Amino acid sequence: MYTTELSDKNKKPSAAAMANEDPVRLAAFEARVAADNFIEPKDWMPEAYRKTLIRQISQHAHSEIVGMLPEGNWITRAPSLRRKAVLLAKVQDEGGHGLYLYAAAETLGTSRDEMIEALHSGRAKYSTIFNYPTLTWADIGAIGWLVDGAAIMNQVPLQRTSYGPYARAMVRICKEESFHQRQGYEITMTLAAGSPEQKRMAQDALDRWWWPSLMMFGPPDDNSPNSAQSIRWRIKRETNDQLRQRFVDVTVPQAEAIGLRVPDPALKWNEARESYDFGEIDWEEFYAVVRGEGPVAKERMNARVKAWADGAWVREAALAHAAKRNGRLAAE
Ligand code: BYC
């Protein structure tokens, strides 16, 4: 995510904000959530629930759109026509995910323009992972395998999030993400089984993307200001640490199966927990990237702002066309 510092403001709904809510409606809302019924756009909801959803869904949408950049710049350099066609389709899918998610956020009363402005001005965040550079073709494998793999781990439980439009968007997104994860693993597997130089490239990409992928799940639970309320309102179904642990447990055997080494000397199977113990994440690095100090944060935002400016004529033409068509329909 970009330039916005982590802070406690606007995190938990303040007691005063919640006290302003109608207690009867609030109790009915909480009972619906507790019964696992979806909340729909026209249903009554507490303001803090609406705000939390707008924050999370719009950040999620921004991540999909900014996430097109690291892979997009490898489309012309993909090593074969097949790889190029697959990568093109994948990057296009990410654009589609962003659009479903912006549409889901719009049902909460925010506009696309407001969300885009928040991204471009640095008020809204997007995932830290997209502020790292893609140096070699092996990075495209690592992104699909690890970044999409982490995204699926986080997004599968979001199919049961309490807000209906977000949950339904996630169902389709998860299907596509699982194809993305497989295409990335297949690239990495091919490189790992290739020449010594190709295997070295695959290992180097794993070395650079492993820790940033673990950071995608967010701060540790005891330092995650939004988690408790989001879990209570069933916006989040599992905590950051639970999902991170599951990702490690699933991914380590995948690395071993293709002869790669996870770059963590503390990684060790824990018989009692039936899970891997793993080393300390560099949280200083995470918070620096959240503050906008990621290696390619400025390039990413400049690219988005330029794309938005360059696309102005398309938006204007589409609006002019819609106005003309509506005028014609009204005349008929
Ligand atoms: N990066 O209280 P917490 C993809 C922020 S893209 C930056 O735990 P929460 C793909 C967090 O926003 C898929 N910031 O927050 C696309 C909060 O700050 P604010 C991306 C982070 O919301 C292209 C503060 O830290 N997936 O698949 O309860 C190519 C405290 O955190 C990060 C999503 O967006 C981070 N990594 O939990 C390939 C999933 N982590 O907002 C692949 C949807 C935390 O209060 N989002 N922060 O100022 C979520 O599930 C949750 O929002 C999070 C954070 C788990 C990320």
Alpha carbon distance 241, 323 (integer Å): 50
For residue 22, the model assigns a pLDDT of 87
CA 218–ligand 1 middle distance (angstroms): 6
SS3 assignment, position 139: helix
Q: Which stretches of the chain are DSSP H helices?
A: 15-19, 23-34, 47-66, 68-72, 81-106, 112-120, 137-142, 148-155, 164-192, 196-215, 227-232, 240-257, 283-288, 297-310, 312-331
CA of residue 217 to ligand 1 center, whole Å:
7
- Which of the four pLDDT bands, split at 50, 70 and 90, describes residue 15? low
78-101 pLDDT, tens digit per residue, is 999 999 999 999 999 999 999 999
Report pLDDT for 2: 31
- Cβ contact 215:281 at 8 Å: yes
The answer to whether the CB of 215 falls within 8 A of the CB of 128 is yes
**Dihedral sign (CA 106, 112, 113, 118):** positive
CA neighbours closer than 13 Å in the CB half-sphere of residue 238: 17
pLDDT tens column, 148-180: 999 999 999 999 999 999 999 999 999 999 999
* CA–centroid distance, residue 284 to ligand 1 (Å): 16
Token digits for 153?
A: 């781990």
Distance 158 CA to ligand 1 centre (A): 13
The rounded distance, in Å, linking the Cα atoms of 243 and 240 is 5
How much distance in Å is there from the Cα of 135 to the middle of ligand 1? 24
274: left (phi over 0), alpha (psi -120 to 50) or beta: left
Buried/exposed code over 42-77 (b: 16+ C-beta within 10 A; e: otherwise): eeebbebbeebbbbbbbbbbbbbbbbbbbbbebeee
Q: How far is the CA of 99 from the centre of ligand 1 (A)?
A: 18
Residue 77 has pLDDT above 50, yes or no: yes
At residue 324, does pLDDT exceed 50?
yes
Q: Looking at residues 34-51, what average pLDDT do you find?
A: 97
This model's pTM is above 0.85: yes
Atom in ligand 1 nearest the alpha carbon of residue 227: 28
Q: Tell me the CA–centroid distance for residue 275 and ligand 1, in Å.
A: 24
| Mean pLDDT within 63-82 | 97
| Average pLDDT for 132-140 | 98
CA of 47 to the centre of ligand 1 (A): 21
Nearest to 156 by CA among 136, 172, 143: 172
Closest CA to 200 of 262, 138, 134, 144: 138
| Higher per-residue confidence, 19 vs 244 | 244
Atom of ligand 1 nearest to the CA of 215: 36
Q: Report the chain's mean pLDDT, rounded to a whole number.
A: 94
Interval 254-270: pLDDT, tens: 999 999 999 999 999 99
- Nearest one of 148, 159, 53 to 109, comparing CA atoms: 53
Contact 201, 136 (CB under 8 A): yes
Asked if residue 44 has pLDDT above 60, the reply is: yes
Residues near ligand 1 with C-beta < 6 Å? 1, 4, 6, 11, 55-56, 59-60, 63-64, 67, 94, 125, 127-128, 143, 147-148, 151, 154, 215-219, 224-227, 230, 236, 240, 290
Which residue lies with its CA nearest to atom 26 of ligand 1? 60
Nearest CA to ligand 1 atom 32: 218
Residue 253 is predicted with a pLDDT of 98
Q: By C-alpha distance, which of 25, 12, 43 is closest to 164?
A: 43
**Quick one: which atom of ligand 1 is closest to the CA of 7?**
48
What length does the chain have? 332
Give the DSSP letter of residue 279. P
3-state secondary structure of 276: strand
Q: Which of 63, 130, 177, 243 to mutate to test the pocket of ligand 1 (most atoms within 8 A of CB)?
A: 63
Which residues make beta-bridge pairs with 39? Answer: 163
Please check the confidence at residue 63 and state whether its pLDDT lies above 70.
yes
Nearest CA to ligand 1 atom 51: 56
User: What does the pLDDT average to over 212-223?
Assistant: 98
Ligand 1 nearest atom to the CA of residue 11, by list position: 45
Is residue 21 over pLDDT 70? yes
Cα of 311 from ligand 1 centre, angstroms: 27
> In which band, very low, low, confident or very high, does the pLDDT at 10 lie, cut at 50, 70 and 90?
very low
Q: What does the alpha-carbon distance between residue 146 and residue 140 come to, in Å, rounded to a whole number?
A: 10
- pLDDT of 111: 97
Q: What DSSP character marks residue 126?
A: -
> Which of these, 149, 151, 136, lies nearest to 71 by C-alpha position?
136
Backbone angles phi, psi at 39, to 5 degrees: -90, 130
